[in-house]
Structure 1
Amino acid sequence: MAMNSILNSDDIKKALDVFKAVDSFDHKRFFEMVGLKAKSADDVKKAFYVLDADNSGFIEEEELKFVLKHFATDGRDLTDKETKAFLQAADKDGDGKIGAAEFTALVRE
Structure 2
Amino acid sequence: MAMGGILKADDVKKVLEAFAVADSFDHKKFFDMVGLKAKSPDDVKKVFTVLDADNSGFIEEEELKFVLKGFAKDGRDLTDKETKAFLKAADKDGDGKIGVEEFIALVKE
Query: Does the alignment reach a TM-score above 0.5?
Result: yes
What is the Cα deviation at residue 83 of structure 1? 0.1
- Aligned counterparts of 2:90 and 2:64: Cα–Cα separation in 1: 11
| Aligned counterpart, 1:15 | 15
Supply the AA of the counterpart residue of 2:76. Answer: R
Deviation larger for 57-66 or 1-10: 1-10
| Aligned counterpart, 1:24 | 24
Residues 8-44 of structure 1 deviation map (CA, whole Å, 9 limit, x = unaligned): 0000000110000110000000000010000011000
- Aligned counterparts of 1:66 and 1:15: Cα–Cα separation in 2: 15
4+ residue runs over 6 A deviation: none
Supply the AA of the counterpart residue of 2:55. Answer: N
Supply the AA of the counterpart residue of 2:35. Answer: G
What is the Cα deviation at residue 4 of structure 1? 1.6
| Aligned counterpart, 1:58 | 58
Supply the AA of the counterpart residue of 1:105. Answer: A
Which segments of 5 or more consecutive residues in structure 1 lack a partner in the other structure?
none
Verify: 1:67 aligned to 2:91, yes or no: no
What is the Cα deviation at residue 80 of structure 1? 0.1
Could you tell me the percent identity over the aligned residues?
79
* TM-score for the superposition, normalised by structure 2: 0.99
| Aligned counterpart, 1:38 | 38
Residues 57-96 of structure 1: pairs in structure 2 closer than 5 A = 57-96=57-96
- Aligned counterparts of 2:71 and 2:96: Cα–Cα separation in 1: 23
Residue 103 of structure 1 aligns to a residue in which SS? helix
* TM-score for the superposition, normalised by structure 1: 0.99
- Aligned counterparts of 1:76 and 1:5: Cα–Cα separation in 2: 22
What is the Cα deviation at residue 5 of structure 1? 1.5
Which segments of 5 or more consecutive residues in structure 2 lack a partner in the other structure?
none
| Aligned counterpart, 1:4 | 4
